[in-house]
Structure 1
Amino acid sequence: MRLAPDGSSYLTSSSRQAETSSKSLFSLDSYHVSEELGFILPDPLEKLPLYYQPWMDIALRVPELVHSQELRTLINKMPLLSSQFLQKHKELRLAHLALSTMAMGYVWQGGESDTIEILPKSLAVPFWEVSQRLGLPPILTHADAALANWKKKDPEGPFDMENLELLLSLPGGDSVQGFFLVTMLVELAAVPALRNIPVVISGVRCADSEAVARALETISQSLQDMTDTLKLMHDYKPFLKCVLIFIHAHMNRWKDNPSMPKGLVYEGVNTEPMEYSGGSAAQSSLLHCFDELLGIKHEEKSGAFLTRMRNYMPPAHKQLIQDISLQPSLKSFVQQQDNEPLNQAFQHCVAKLLALRNYHINVVSRFITVPAARARQLRDKNQTSEGEMISRAPTALEERGTGGSGIMIFLKTVRDHTRDAFLPDTSKEKEHNS
């Protein structure tokens, strides 16, 4: 059952007991959010029905086929298959992952200087159909690469880096594997926070300061765990492979990309080019949920980009964010209560989110900004070994992020507006303590 978002007033004490006992008041399950895995797709399928084996045969080999320059040839020969035999949600998610992986490789097989303008019908038509059924765009998204692209080596083993591997990969070897799996583990670290968002909402509506404070402290710890997990990214940092990650993943977009100024024609779908943004951390529903819960407001340009990124999320996840935004204001509730433990819990939560965003800026600098500058340096020197190998690195990496805007400017703007969410007079102290 969805929470009825009247947003008008807090519940009276006489209503508190009945509402607090109602576990279905704001059910994460109704938004396709797992109590154990959050936004991660539980137990993704590894195989599609036999009819779709031509897709999987190619998708499983994308890295080697890009390297041998054979991918486009094989996709051009691929039969046009109907998507009608895909019946279950997990079948559609695996199909979307396979088709988007092939599309990324097809477009970028030759690098920035050899992009294509038309995606062939045998790939474009089913990709479009599957995307329409899922409510996702026909491009590789965070929901594909980071949420539905995993399996355990030992099904009974732990959910950690040593026991996880990707279903489908992109060129870049261990760095690509590490990048996407660490990203997924960051999502996993957020699960306790997600579970406590309904607790906060219910507590605000019931005017239960103690319940809200406890839930916010749990969310704060979860945010700290997300930051700690993100640090695993530095175990997968070889320079060349890091550049390749963003050639074949984050820069795989056909919107705001100088290499593809008109976008991409999906043959058999539309005669005019279409533009879509590439995979981005901004497509993760997590931070959108936290922003709405804590009342963080972003300025017009960055806010518009973040809002647009919600169209790259599974519709149920996007709806969750929207429904959180319609609830009574947590920040207003905290300010009205005059309750020091509650104030501290709110401040601590904002501080941890700010620290996470600061650390994300550090990661982006090391994995995108610095490698891109190195790529430019090697091109300028016309080096023949490493320079040749990275010559395909998009020049857009050097100044642009996945949304087509200056990535560091964007991230720092979002970070600064997170700081604005602190309660008055204590923001400097709380940021220092974070």
Structure 2
Amino acid sequence: MGSRVSPREYGVSESNGFLPDAAPLTRLPGRFAEWDEIGAVLPKHLAAGRARELLSDVAPLDPATLTGQAERERAMLLLSYFGHAYIFGGDVPAGAVPANIAVPWHCAAGLLGRPPVLSYATQQLHNWGRLTDDPRIELGNIHRLQGFLGGMDDDWFVLVHVAIEAAAAPVLRASLAAQDAVLDDDGDALTRALGEIAAGLGVMSGTLARMPERCDPYIYYNRVRSYLFGWDNNPALPDGIVYEGVDAYGGRPQRFGGETGAQSAIIPFLDEVLGLAGDDDPLAAYMHALRAYIPPGHRAFIEKVGPRVDLRGFLLRHRPAGAVDAYDACVTAMADFRELHLRYAAMYVHKQAQRSAANSTAVGTGGTPFMRYLKGHLDTVRSHRIGAPG
């Protein structure tokens, strides 16, 4: 029997998956509350075209004086919104972030082991709260903490992803159980665990399918998406941006990718567990590079779990009764999730009318030719069925 993996050692919640155990903080202590106050009025100032004027008043406080992960994540949330609002809150994107934002932003990012840019971890994992005492993290019981322009479409886009993360928690538990079953040479337990993975992926797809309920493609593209871009392979910021006052960068422009669902730890985790990554798949290579934007503990968790068990190889060698069909059901469920994502990428971005270089319909917020990458990766996933293709 091989060694077991404890998700908690990597900052992964037994109950919430990659979401934090406790709901993110809604306020910072002491003088840092000034940042909360600016965050609260940021949407109004963005709508009025006065965001940069507002953000010039951000106090350059030191996030290193904050105690605990939750406070630092709250600081990172606010500073990331301040930075992106400053860059994209004018008629043309700004090529630099002023020192009063850039210096604490760089500090907070360093404390958390992520780049100073709005990432999926900040935008989704640490940007929600419950509406009631009901502990379930699901649509109808969660709200968004910080937004740009705000509104139903903007909030719903984030909350659907939060709910998907919550729905993935049972999938993570079942994935570890599947690996344990391989280590124990227990075909029945493996079949059960794979069935739970496929069922959980179905719930995740069902949650993603709710995106159009309250997030209109036109509004998403024209009001929400432009603030999510980064400055790596961004046609509107070809040289990146300067973080003024950050000594580590020496005044040199930096290039970081923007917030994208490809930064979620769920899919790379499952790719590793199920053996779905293709060496010649450009999206897989890109997603591996994106691990720099994933929280370090989650990144280490993926890297620990990946080489732990060759689950697919075990199935190819031994073909325990029922387990191959259960595995193929997981692959099909992964393909279904990816196919829905591809369909929404076309609906929400690719088919929209591009009006500026700052909001490309061909380049994703993370800086990739996303339609080509997503389609190629979908084909790669489907090719991993062990039995007859379905």
The TM tier, using the shorter chain, reads over 0.9
Q: Which residue of structure 1 lines up, in the alignment, with residue 126 of structure 2?
A: 148
1:336 aligns with 2:313: no
Of the candidates 342, 359, 380, which is equivalent to residue 361 of structure 1? 342
> Take 2:176 and 2:277, find their aligned partners in 1: how far apart are those partners?
21
Q: Which residue of structure 2 lines up, in the alignment, with residue 34 of structure 1?
A: 13
Q: Which residue of structure 2 lines up, in the alignment, with residue 304 of structure 1?
A: 285
Q: 1:239 offset after TM fit, Å? A: 4.3
Kindly indicate whether the alpha-carbon contact (under 8 Å) linking 1:399 and 1:406 is maintained by their aligned counterparts in 2: yes
Trace 1:243-392 onto structure 2 (pairs within 5 A).
243=221, 244-249=223-228, 252-269=229-246, 270=249, 271-298=251-278, 299-370=280-351, 372-373=352-353, 376=354
> Take 1:333 and 1:401, find their aligned partners in 2: how far apart are those partners?
37
> Take 1:84 and 1:146, find their aligned partners in 2: how far apart are those partners?
23
Q: Provide, for residues 353-375 of structure 1, a one-character-per-residue CA deviation record: whole Å limited to 9, x for no partner.
A: 011111111111111112x23xx
Q: Which residue of structure 2 lines up, in the alignment, with residue 93 of structure 1?
A: 73
Kindly indicate whether the alpha-carbon contact (under 8 Å) linking 2:239 and 2:253 is maintained by their aligned counterparts in 1: yes
Q: 1:241 offset after TM fit, Å? A: 2.0
Kindly indicate whether the alpha-carbon contact (under 8 Å) linking 2:274 and 2:312 is maintained by their aligned counterparts in 1: yes
Q: 1:157 offset after TM fit, Å? A: 6.3
Q: Secondary structure of 1:69's match? A: coil
> Take 2:198 and 2:366, find their aligned partners in 1: how far apart are those partners?
28
Q: Secondary structure of 2:257's match? A: coil
1:136 aligns with 2:114: yes
Of the candidates 363, 377, 380, which is equivalent to residue 400 of structure 1? 363
Q: 1:158 offset after TM fit, Å? A: 4.5
Unpaired stretches in structure 1, ≥5 consecutive residues: 1-15, 380-392, 430-434
Q: 1:301 offset after TM fit, Å? A: 2.7
Q: Which residue of structure 1 lines up, in the alignment, with residue 143 of structure 2?
A: 165
Q: Secondary structure of 1:165's match? A: strand
Q: Which residue of structure 1 lines up, in the alignment, with residue 186 of structure 2?
A: 208
> Take 1:296 and 1:79, find their aligned partners in 2: how far apart are those partners?
47
Kindly indicate whether the alpha-carbon contact (under 8 Å) linking 2:127 and 2:144 is maintained by their aligned counterparts in 1: yes
Q: Which residue of structure 1 lines up, in the alignment, with residue 34 of structure 2?
A: 54
**Amino acid paired to 2:299:** K
Of the candidates 29, 35, 53, which is equivalent to residue 73 of structure 1? 53
Q: 1:226 offset after TM fit, Å? A: 0.4
Q: Secondary structure of 1:185's match? A: helix
Kindly indicate whether the alpha-carbon contact (under 8 Å) linking 1:172 and 1:242 is maintained by their aligned counterparts in 2: no
Q: 1:32 offset after TM fit, Å? A: 1.0
Distance 1:238 1:347, change over 3 A: closer
Q: How many residues align?
A: 384
Q: Which residue of structure 2 lines up, in the alignment, with residue 237 of structure 1?
A: 215
TM-score between the two structures when normalised by the length of structure 1:
0.85
Kindly indicate whether the alpha-carbon contact (under 8 Å) linking 2:119 and 2:263 is maintained by their aligned counterparts in 1: yes
Of 233-242 and 220-229, the range deviating more from structure 2: 233-242
Distance 1:345 1:300, change over 3 A: closer
Q: Provide, for residues 80-125 of structure 1, a one-character-per-residue CA deviation record: whole Å limited to 9, x for no partner.
A: 21223211100001100010011111100125xx111111111000
Q: Secondary structure of 1:254's match? A: coil
Kindly indicate whether the alpha-carbon contact (under 8 Å) linking 2:168 and 2:266 is maintained by their aligned counterparts in 1: yes
Of the candidates 104, 115, 122, which is equivalent to residue 126 of structure 1? 104
Q: 1:300 offset after TM fit, Å? A: 4.9
Q: Which residue of structure 2 lines up, in the alignment, with residue 415 of structure 1?
A: 378
Kindly indicate whether the alpha-carbon contact (under 8 Å) linking 2:265 and 2:299 is maintained by their aligned counterparts in 1: yes
Q: Secondary structure of 1:398's match? A: coil
Kindly indicate whether the alpha-carbon contact (under 8 Å) linking 1:83 and 1:126 is maintained by their aligned counterparts in 2: yes
Q: 1:323 offset after TM fit, Å? A: 1.2
Q: 1:172 offset after TM fit, Å? A: 4.6
**Amino acid paired to 2:156:** G
Kindly indicate whether the alpha-carbon contact (under 8 Å) linking 1:173 and 1:241 is maintained by their aligned counterparts in 2: no
Trace 1:173-192 onto structure 2 (pairs within 5 A).
173-192=151-170
Q: 1:78 offset after TM fit, Å? A: 2.5
Q: 1:179 offset after TM fit, Å? A: 0.4
Q: Secondary structure of 1:161's match? A: coil
> Take 2:281 and 2:336, find their aligned partners in 1: how far apart are those partners?
23
Kindly indicate whether the alpha-carbon contact (under 8 Å) linking 1:171 and 1:248 is maintained by their aligned counterparts in 2: no
Q: Percent identity?
A: 28
TM-score between the two structures when normalised by the length of structure 2:
0.94
